[in-house]
Structure 1
Amino acid sequence: MRNFTIALDAMGGDFGPHISLPASYESLQLHSNLVIIIVGDEQQINPLLKKYHLLEHPRVKLMHAPETISMEDDPVSVLRHRSPSSMLIALQLVADGEADACVSAGNTGALMLLSKHILKTLKGISRPALVSALPNNRGGHSYMMDLGANLQCGCDTLFNFALMGSVLCEKVEQVSSPSISLLNVGRESNKGSDEIKHCASLLNKTKYINYIGFIEANELFDSPADVVVTDGFSGNIALKSYEGMGRVFIAQLKKAMNATWYSRLLGKLLNPLIKNQLKHLHPDLYNGASLIGLRGIVVKSHGGANIEAFTCAIEQAIKEIQWQIPTSISERLASVLAERDCLLHE
């Protein structure tokens, strides 16, 4: 079993190395063939290595990065100046073949622009998409894209998202012929913008994609679709709404269970059952949005992720390395895009 290497932007996110380092340790314990290159400010990281059990670890390397991209930095300015930040160096390690993937909890816009500039997109793909898993009512999860990398998307972009999402789901989840839906304002064929209706028509005619029609936002977590495709504006709002509602639901449930002595007693009896039933809904388990459509693997962790959530982001990167997602997408692109071009000229 060959080793695989992840370049970790240790400085990104709200808590920097205080989350990324212990998450690295957890991942190293889970995978004996995992090597992690910790990229960040040595002055901040060195004192923490012993605390988080990484000092002199045989599968940990440290690479100094003198600068850090903050959440407030303007992504265009970051791209223009290309300072030696932890994010840029981690991405460059992937581009140079020294790492198989990059994981960062840093500035999403900066990560998107730097990834596209340093790693480049696959042939036939103009824009990478941000995709992540969302829980569904079947006890599993569906993939949704785009989640904010591309606020406005035309027909071609949505089509490419459907293709890339299909390959990702097929490989990582081992789902044969994943079902694809477009998020829309209604399920009827006459609903939505001209772009989304045109995309639906193309998907319907494409034999390589299992398109099953439109879905509405209230069906996101109860849909038979394995992949839901939308623009980044709608996708980001849907994702944040889910995260917010999940926290409200858990808070209200706890409040109700502590309201009276009877509810507290009942809560103690039912707590194991409730935890087991609701654990797959917790947002931390779905941390780790992938930037797909690039020539390398990049996984974006939520900026406010805790250790468990950041570990999930590393786990997502490992799955994509194992299934060589960029290569799989590239191989599928040639045949599907050729078919799409024929359909466009009919």
Structure 2
Amino acid sequence: MGSARARIAIDAMGGDHAPAEIVAGALRAREELDVEILLVGDASQIQAALGERANTFPVEIVPSEGTIEMHEEPLSGLKRKPKASINVAMDLVKQKRADAVVSAGHSGAAMAAALLRLGRLKGIDRPAIGAVLPTIMADKSVLLLDVGANVDCRPKFLEQFAVMGSIYSQYVLGVEKPKVGLLNIGEEPGKGNDLAIRTHQMLEENNKISFVGNAEGRDVLSGNFDVVVCDGFVGNVLLKFAEAVGEVMLQILKEELPQGLHGLLGVALLKPNLNRIKQRVDHAEHGGGLLLGVAGICIISHGSSQAPSIFNAIRLAKEAIDHQVLERITSNYNQPAAPAAEVES
């Protein structure tokens, strides 16, 4: 849409704290990021969450009917509820009324709705969810994918994840020549299962990426890799473990700080440092994961997301739009976007 403001469709009914926290994060984004917001969901509930703030920073409310609950099977839920908030949000992108979708609801439903309504990019067999994690190096992060879209993978899927991840790392995260690693149990090319061994060979032969070899679990947050690829089963386990470590670290810091007056003085002196630590390890600071490989920008946030995480998810969506991630992936495969297709059950 050229230089026009990015228009972000928000699934206001998705997530544990919907719609209040979703709306609060969206309003902050409307104020600070210069984006247009379309809140999709139950109009009366959204209006109640907006309150008087709607007059200060106007947003558009797009009515929908129902939501896909966490216990529901994604495909059957989407078909039973064609006007569910995630379906309506995806349709806004398909109709060019929005540039991106952000949802903290059922992640499986969000992925399935994106595939059904937007389709895959031509040349991409499976989409992948990419998550940005901190590393031990200051001001450097690593993109891990897939973290949940595909439990089982083929070597060519992982190869495509590596290419898409490199493009995202280069143009959104600003890494000039992203170093790609394959998550494995050892550094040697012959280590791992059949999937890892075959994928290693394909990544070595791919001249579109800078493949530097296998990454063991301890290497993921080392800063030696910019992109790490794996199947969605392992990636999801690793992501949730990393998030738990961050939460534990923050809790330990709180418990170990001195108590009383000396503690208050110490916290005051350390506050800038503590804030920077929180920014580096708290998953809410990253907002969620970008669903790479579908013909539209889709950010999948945590179900427990509150306002700060939603704000950051919208920021992530805006960055993907501004840096033309879809166009760059499509151009890399030299193919136009594919029409929406049936999703495998």
Instruction: Tell me the residue number matched to 1:341.
Output: none
Instruction: Tell me the residue number matched to 1:35.
Output: 36
Q: Which amino acid aligns with 2:108?
A: G
Give the secondary structure class of the aligned counterpart of 1:212. strand
Instruction: Tell me the residue number matched to 1:184.
Output: 184
- Map 1:99-178 to 2 at 5 A: 99-139=98-138, 140-178=140-178
Q: Which amino acid aligns with 1:132?
A: A
Per-residue deviation, residues 282-314 of structure 1 (Å, max 9, x unmatched): 221122211110111100111111211110000
Q: Contact conserved, 1:105 with 1:301, CA < 8 A, in 2?
A: yes
Q: Contact conserved, 1:66 with 1:85, CA < 8 A, in 2?
A: yes
Instruction: Tell me the residue number matched to 1:212.
Output: 212
Instruction: Tell me the residue number matched to 1:76.
Output: 75
Residue 275 (structure 1) shift: 3.3
Matched, 1:49 2:57: no
- The alignment's TM-score, normalised by the length of structure 1, stands at 0.91
CA distance in 2, matches of 1:186, 1:215: 7
Q: Which amino acid aligns with 1:37?
A: L
- Map 1:200-279 to 2 at 5 A: 200-258=200-258, 266-279=266-279
Instruction: Tell me the residue number matched to 1:338.
Output: none
Give the secondary structure class of the aligned counterpart of 1:201. helix
Per-residue deviation, residues 145-189 of structure 1 (Å, max 9, x unmatched): 001110111101000000110111111122222110010111111
CA distance in 2, matches of 1:66, 1:109: 19
Q: Contact conserved, 2:9 with 2:92, CA < 8 A, in 1?
A: yes
Matched, 1:63 2:65: no
- The alignment's TM-score, normalised by the length of structure 2, stands at 0.91
What count of residue pairs does the alignment treat as equivalent?
Answer: 332
Give the secondary structure class of the aligned counterpart of 2:75. helix
Please identify, of 283-292 and 234-243, the stretch whose mean Cα deviation from structure 2 is larger: 283-292
Q: Contact conserved, 1:158 with 1:230, CA < 8 A, in 2?
A: yes
Q: Which amino acid aligns with 1:24?
A: A
Please identify, of 144-153 and 282-291, the stretch whose mean Cα deviation from structure 2 is larger: 282-291
Q: Contact conserved, 2:147 with 2:232, CA < 8 A, in 1?
A: yes
Please identify, of 311-320 and 68-77, the stretch whose mean Cα deviation from structure 2 is larger: 68-77
Residue 224 (structure 1) shift: 1.3
CA distance in 2, matches of 1:250, 1:239: 17
Provide structure 1 residue ranges, at least 5 long, that are not aligned to the other structure: 336-346
Residue 268 (structure 1) shift: 4.8
Instruction: Indicate how the Cα distance of structure 1 residues 55 and 78 shifts in structure 2: closer, same or farther if over 3 A, else same.
Output: farther
* Aligned pair partner of 1:3 in 2, 5, 8: 5
Please identify, of 324-333 and 154-163, the stretch whose mean Cα deviation from structure 2 is larger: 324-333
Q: CA RMSD of the aligned region, Å? A: 1.9
What percent of counterpart residues are identical? 33
Q: Which amino acid aligns with 1:306?
A: Q
Instruction: Tell me the residue number matched to 2:19.
Output: 17
Give the secondary structure class of the aligned counterpart of 2:234. helix
